[in-house]
Amino acid sequence: QSTQYNDWKGTAAADDADQDDFSDYLRNIGKLAGHEIVVGISFYSAPNFAHVNAFISDGGEGLRRITVPIGVAEFFEKFKRFSIYISRDGRFDGEEIEFENEDDE
């Protein structure tokens, strides 16, 4: 899924939670078998709506997509840290940025 206009584009990075991470959650609700691993996640949000998909590998060539029944707050709780970096039209993607002044407040 994508946004309608893609005014802002960028990247995201996340660290698994120490306990009860995203994979543990999927195992606990019966969506992830013991031999499978999560290789990707998509997250889409709009007012009063969130949609999460997980991309699951069986360790071979097989890949499947599942819809994950999870709310926004609970989704972010599955990660220790979550960083989203977006810029207008993706203009800073992959670039190191130097600032003349920084406001650290």
| 25 assigned to some structural domain | yes
- Taking 70 as the threshold, does the pLDDT of residue 83 lie above it? yes
Q: pLDDT of 10-37, one tens digit each?
A: 999 999 999 999 999 999 999 999 999 9
- The answer as to whether 46 is a domain residue is yes
Element holding 75 (H helix, E strand): helix 72-77
Residue 96 lies in a domain: no
Structure tokens, 49: 């709506």
Residue 58 lies in a domain: yes
Domain hosting residue 34, numbered range: 10-85
DSSP type of residue 91: T
Report phi then psi at 43, rounded to 5: -130, 125
Residue 68 has pLDDT above 90, yes or no: yes
Task: Kindly state whether residue 65 falls inside one of the protein's structural domains.
Answer: yes
For residue 68, which of 48, 83, 51, 86 has the smallest C-alpha distance? 51
pLDDT digits (tens, 9 = 90+) for 5-17: 899 999 999 999 9
The answer to whether residue 34 is domain-embedded is yes
In a domain, 1, yes or no: no
Question: Would you say residue 2 has pLDDT above 80?
Answer: no
Cβ(82)–Cβ(14) below 8 Å: yes
9 vs 67: CA distance, rounded Å: 23
pTM for this structure? 0.82
Residue 93 lies in a domain: no
Rounded to whole angstroms, how far apart are CA atoms 102 and 29?
A: 45
Number of domains in the chain: 1
